[in-house]
Structure 1
Amino acid sequence: MTHTAVDVIRAKRDGDRLTDAQIDWVVDAYTRGVVADEQMSALAMAIFLNGMDSAETARWTHAMINSGEKLTLDVGRPTVDKHSTGGVGDKITLPLAPLVAACGAAVPQLSGRGLGHTGGTLDKLEAIPGWRAQLSVDEVVAQLRSVGAVICAATSGLAPADKKLYALRDVTGTVEAIPLIASSIMSKKIAEGAEALVLDVKVGSGAFMKSLDQARALATALVSIGVDHGLRVSALLTDMSVPLGRAVGNAVEVAESIEVLRGGGPSDVVDLTVALAEEMLSRAGISASPREVLASGEAYETWARMIRAQGGDPDAPLPLARHEHVVTAPADGYLTKLDAYAVGVAAWRLGAGRARKEDPVQPGAGILCLAKPGDRLAEGQPLLLLRTDTPDAIPAALDSLSGGYDIGPAAPAATPLIIDTIRG
């Protein structure tokens, strides 16, 4: 049967279910340049407005996987990956990958860069002198065999359809379409070749999904796609209303991750790292105690080997920004609010993030949260420490923080970090 872009657009515009043949054709034709950007833009908007059912979404994901290569990871260990939908201070991949590897799994973590208020794993690791993100497939496989963990950029051959469509969605107001989000995430993860996957779906002000209903819908879609493609998959819904840990930025988050790997670090980072590790090991069929392994120092040794394998020096001093500014508590009382989005935007304005994909980042820029909700403060006590190489950025960062924190007479009620778990 011969298809045309206009016929496929009209079908979804009118609320029809796209057939497998229509989906396969339009994704392949768009990847090859037969379907123009303006036509795929119209289809993406029709999907945004009318949705896709689980079978359509699974087929769309399948077509995006088939647009490129799929890795085969024969590395002598069970393979399991993790993906986070992104947040503020979300450095969990850094301690998690070596921890799970130290427990006996292989972790092929293909990661990305930050855009806007959410940080990127590769940006954080590039704060380490000498570390490189670009690896060949042969290097990825060799490192998984020798170290058990790799964190690197995705190769250009994985799901090239997603790369084109992702850029298009960013400029056409269709980023929030759950079927397109889910297929974007899962096409890359399935093409990566891991046998199991654990998803960290963030919910709250600092997350992409602001409401629990949105986050649950996305998590359900992600798990459904994974099951349809033979993955052992789970999704944890986790809170992102408050920054994770105390460090927000690049080098500062690496430093905090190293604290965790050495047996210390903030309790929320440790708890989430351990919870995700337990779920990953369960999905990989491995019986181990990640909390004990973390305390033993084995995870740190795996981290050091992983960094060295990618050209980095785990013992080198991390970059420090040249300028600092302290934000102090305006009154006595308890910190009742520290908004993740406000802190994330402030760190971005200080130079820790980028507005466009081609923008550079400052490795030493960021924010240290010297207090977290529930802490008692005295008027004038340091609350936030801002770091940047461009002091002219400090007023804009302070403007972003306006209304982002509150002091009250009583401590706020504790909220759970892990809200729910969905398993396939």
Structure 2
Amino acid sequence: MAESITLPERVLAAIALHRQASGDPMAAFFYDLPALDAQGRAMQAALPPGVELYYAIKANSEAAIIDTLAPHVDGLELSSGGEIARACACATPRPWVLSGPGKLDADMYDAMTRGVEAFHVESLGEVARLQAVAASLERVQPVLLRINPALPEDLSSRLRMAGTATPFGIDEAQLADAVRAVDDAANLRLVGFHVHAMSHQACERRHQRLLDAYLARWPRWRGLARHPEAVTQLNVGGGIGVNYLRPSEQFDWAGLCEALGQRLATMREPPRVRFEIGRFLAAFCGYYAIEVLDTKVSHGEGFLVCRGGTHQFRLPAAQGHDHPIIHLPRDPERARAGERRPWTVVGQLCTPKDVLSRRQALSGVAVGDLLVLPLAGAYGYNISHADFLCHPRPEQVFVGDSRNTREGSEPETRRRRPAEPVR
């Protein structure tokens, strides 16, 4: 059973205002930008000297999210040509890097002409293609080589990108060849290494051991370069998990940063360490509000059929968990007096996989009530198959958006109306 979660008053007010203005049953996302701002400030403040924080915009690339976080991060991590356009439109310009497998030559060219800081190179073939593009632009391009190192099994997590067979990075056994290829490329300059081994890391102590393993290998990796003094960066990726079922028990980011600072202080020539965090920055600000359309019992199990579903909020299905639910009844007195029973929350799709949460104990639920799914700010709507069945896309409401607010006035609540799918 998930912990109970309290909605911020400004989010409650925004939900109520949106409902008053809407003629149809609700399915909408609400993003608490002041909370996001506070999360960015806190994470940046915890960093030790010599450590940087980049936002991985794949977690949520909406303009209001990027603009809110940009003042509190050192840069942005991108993984596609489309993300380049979003990063370059940021209200607070930040350095950015381009990573990920399968980069198009067109993406490489676009990135170089628009001021990319560095590329994270995934393969020997990519070294050759990147060299050709850089030569065509008569540019010397900084790069980091992404390493797929061997890792102890006990440091694994539910989603691994290293230490096993994956399409990501260069096996550590081939690293010397990759370093030599970059050193031999007239238009590339090796500045560091990138290791993103896993996602959904729940334990800061295990993650610190993972970082210790990287730092122990740093002198050897750096020593492979023809000019090791120019190799100064170690990007350790992200992978910090969110506890969706026990929100009060979250990853100890401050503790991880303190331990990392102590470890770096013992090193003779420490690297400049960079995190690229997405989920742990953005997840906590988001809420998905859906309206109950029908209640029914099938083979003894209660179902709440709601507006929306996994085509708009794929996160629970992708994570394989039952998402926490906040019940907002139209009639609180009726809800308090009603029967408390387990309900399975589903959406509008014609598939039994359209399940957001199973057997949530709720009291007096009725058609017209709202259910709110918190922790929806990262890898929620943006990874969803929104055009499935051609349902209308959900509106996204940015609570406390002050980007266009006059100084001294109250922050606005701004809406982003999504494009309709082609029918």
TM-score after normalising by structure 2: 0.29
- Structure in which a larger fraction of residues adopt strand: 2
TM-score after normalising by structure 1: 0.29
- Structure in which a larger fraction of residues adopt helix: 1
